[in-house]
């Protein structure tokens, strides 16, 4: 019996050790922060869904849906690069607190206007511009905060992966609940939930300990425009970041805009309603949460470049097939694949940049450029695809986006050998790998 018990115990130990628990998951500091922000993202996604649906219901115009999407995010292109310089100068805790309080005010205004029946497209555009300005500060500040939650540099990938996972969990839950609230109680209920959702994150910001960063050269002593130029020059000259940001721009312009086209696709192609839209958004978010879980649990922090290239190819193919489908069940499967591969690509890009960026003096600026690729390019994609859907139909617009995404993915794949050589040496320097020949 003893040998049997011994073998059983050894087997149990092997099973336990094979289960990879992300190191950052053991940190109360990381968990408190990312859980709080995932709750706030839950409300933000509900508001985005409700606004898009409301605009299309009011106007019955794909073009105006694109215009609203543009105005909600175009401020990101204008001010986000400058925000990066300010993030390297200002107190990150105060920035985050300010953005959450202003977000509560804006969502509360949407709630009151909708309940009183005074909401119009004009009001949506005005508030959207203000929300876009807040996002230009808020999103880069969140990304810059993540590496400052851990002491060990090797745990940064783990912290970023947990951050991506919980955000995608919120993205998974919000369309499902948002669709039900829209169908039964109207858009005001979504805006109200959004207003409340920022409170847990404010509590997390107040209690979280941010690791202090020692700057070798203080950016406060130099001209702010010179700091801005340094960030762009560094990002362009550092080849891995240059190529990865190029792929991000393609994905954001050609793929991410499909979220704004889903209400139109539901009505014109599937002949559905708000609940149908909620199902599609939930399926997409389910794919995202699977991708986030994979990124969080994967044992190797290396190999991200190859993963990004493969997922970018899959998202292009998935969007092409989705655009040709008229069956709800098939669309649910395909949009789940699109959501999964899209998240693997964009979350992988974000995690990769935060991992290989060893110069803390430029983290805020490079992160803001990364966010500009998301906030700044996406509104132009929304505007372009809103007009394109008006001209050639929503399914053909989605087809065009999928084809362009494939072309961008193939161009990125050609650059992989050059990127691997540079990235491998960084991984060796950080102690993540011991031999340069491992990518």
Torsion, CA 308, CA 31, CA 167, CA 334, rounded to 10 = 60
The token pair that represents 67 in the structure block: 């215009």
Task: Judge whether residue 349 has pLDDT over 80.
Answer: yes
In Å, the largest CA–CA distance within the chain is 77
Looking at residue 314, its pLDDT comes to 93
Average pLDDT over residues 247-273: 83
- Residues shown for the chain: 439
Looking at residue 400, its pLDDT comes to 92
Residue-wise DSSP of 185-237: H-HHHHHHHHHHHHHHHHHHHHHPPPPP---SS-GGGS-HHHHHHHHHHHHHH
Looking at residue 19, its pLDDT comes to 43
Average pLDDT over residues 87-100: 83
Q: How sure is the predictor about 320, in pLDDT bands with cuts at 50, 70 and 90?
A: very high
Q: What is the 3-state secondary structure (H, E, C) of 97-129?
A: HHHHHHHHHHHHHHHHHHHCCCCCHHHHHHHHH
Instruction: Please state which of the ranges 85-99, 121-135, 155-169 shows the lowest mean pLDDT.
Output: 155-169
- Three-state SS for 359? coil
Q: For residues 73 and 347, which has the higher predicted lDDT (pLDDT)?
A: 347
Q: Are 250 and 381 in contact (CB under 8 A)?
A: no
CA-CA distance, 46 to 172, in Å (whole number)?
Answer: 11
Q: Are 274 and 53 in contact (CB under 8 A)?
A: yes
End-to-end CA distance of the chain: 47
Q: Are 281 and 178 in contact (CB under 8 A)?
A: yes
Looking at residue 44, its pLDDT comes to 82
> Which class is domain 23-210+224-430?
mainly alpha
Q: What average pLDDT does the chain have?
A: 77
Q: Are 251 and 345 in contact (CB under 8 A)?
A: yes
Residue-wise DSSP of 286-348: HHHHHHHHHHHH-S-SS-HHHHHHHHHHHHHHHHHHHHH---HHHHHHHHHHHHHHHHHHHHH
Q: For residues 28 and 217, which has the higher predicted lDDT (pLDDT)?
A: 28
The token pair that represents 294 in the structure block: 């994979």
Report the 10 Å Cβ neighbour count for 269: 17
CA-CA distance, 252 to 146, in Å (whole number)?
Answer: 22
Q: Residue ranges of the domains in the chain?
A: 23-210+224-430
Q: Considering the chain, what percentage of its residues have pLDDT values greater than 90?
A: 10
Task: Judge whether residue 17 has pLDDT over 50.
Answer: no
280-315, pLDDT tens digit by residue?
A: 877 887 887 788 778 777 766 667 888 889 999 999
Q: Considering the chain, what percentage of its residues have pLDDT values greater than 70?
A: 78
Q: How sure is the predictor about 18, in pLDDT bands with cuts at 50, 70 and 90?
A: very low
Residue 125 backbone dihedrals phi, psi, to 5 degrees: -70, -45
Of 138, 156, 134, nearest to 147 (Cα)? 156
Average pLDDT over residues 118-126: 84
Q: For residues 170 and 35, which has the higher predicted lDDT (pLDDT)?
A: 35
For 16, 293, 376, 396, the CA distances from 150, given in Å and listed in that order, are 24, 20, 29, 46
3 burial (CB, 10 Å; 0-12 / 13-18 / 19+) is exposed
Q: For residues 319 and 66, which has the higher predicted lDDT (pLDDT)?
A: 319
Looking at residue 438, its pLDDT comes to 43
98-119, pLDDT tens digit by residue?
A: 999 999 999 899 999 888 888 8
Query: What distance lies between CA 374 and its chain's CA centroid?
Result: 8
Instruction: Please state which of the ranges 181-190, 211-220, 419-428 shows the lowest mean pLDDT.
Output: 211-220
The token pair that represents 233 in the structure block: 């020059």
Task: Judge whether residue 2 has pLDDT over 60.
Answer: no
Q: 138-142 contacts: CB < 8 A, separation 24 or more?
A: 138/95, 138/96, 138/99, 138/100, 138/103, 139/371, 139/374, 139/375, 140/80, 140/83, 140/84, 140/87, 140/364, 140/367, 140/368, 140/370, 140/371, 141/87, 141/92, 141/95, 141/96, 141/99, 142/37, 142/96
């Amino acid at each position: 019996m003893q040998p049997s018990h011994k073998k059983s115990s050894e087997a149990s130990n092997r099973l336990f050790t094979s289960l990879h628990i992300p190191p950052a998951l053991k940190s109360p500091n990381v968990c408190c922060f990312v859980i709080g922000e995932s709750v706030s993202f839950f409300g933000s996604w509900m508001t985005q869904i409700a606004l898009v649906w409301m605009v299309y219901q009011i106007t019955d115009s794909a073009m105006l849906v694109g215009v609203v999407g543009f105005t909600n995010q175009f401020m990101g292109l204008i001010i986000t690069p400058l925000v990066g310089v300010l993030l390297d100068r200002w107190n990150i805790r105060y920035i985050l607190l300010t953005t959450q309080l202003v977000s509560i005010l804006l969502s509360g205004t949407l709630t009151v206007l909708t309940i009183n029946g005074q909401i119009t497209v004009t009001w949506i555009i005005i508030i959207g511009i203000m929300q876009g300005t807040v996002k230009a500060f808020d999103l880069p500040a969140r990304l810059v905060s993540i590496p400052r939650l851990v002491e060990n540099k090797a745990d940064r990938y783990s912290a970023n992966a947990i951050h991506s996972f919980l955000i995608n969990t919120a993205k998974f839950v919000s369309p499902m609940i948002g669709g039900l609230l829209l169908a039964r109680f109207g858009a005001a209920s979504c805006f109200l939930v959004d207003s409340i959702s920022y409170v847990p994150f404010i509590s997390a910001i107040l209690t979280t300990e941010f690791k202090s960063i020692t700057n070798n050269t203080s950016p406060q002593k130099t001209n702010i425009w010179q700091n801005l130029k340094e960030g762009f020059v560094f990002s362009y000259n550092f080849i891995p970041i240059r190529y990865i940001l190029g792929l991000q721009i393609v994905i954001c312009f050609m793929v991410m805009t499909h979220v704004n086209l889903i209400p139109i696709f539901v009505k014109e192609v599937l002949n559905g309603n708000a609940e149908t839209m909620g199902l599609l958004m939930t399926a997409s978010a389910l794919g995202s949460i699977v991708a986030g879980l994979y990124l969080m649990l994967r044992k190797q922090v290396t190999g991200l470049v190859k993963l990004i290239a493969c997922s970018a190819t899959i998202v292009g193919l998935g969007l092409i097939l989705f655009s040709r489908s008229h069956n709800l069940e098939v669309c649910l499967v395909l949009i789940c694949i699109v959501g999964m591969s899209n998240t693997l690509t964009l979350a992988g890009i974000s995690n990769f940049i935060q991992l290989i960026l060893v110069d803390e003096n430029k983290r805020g600026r490079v992160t803001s450029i990364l966010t500009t690729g998301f906030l700044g390019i996406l509104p132009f994609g929304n505007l372009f695809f809103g007009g394109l859907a008006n001209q050639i139909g929503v399914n053909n617009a989605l087809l065009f986006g999928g084809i362009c995404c494939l072309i961008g993915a193939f161009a990125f794949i050609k650059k992989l050998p050059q990127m691997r050589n540079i990235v491998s040496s960084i991984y060796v320097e950080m102690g993540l790998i011991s031999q340069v020949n491992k990518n």
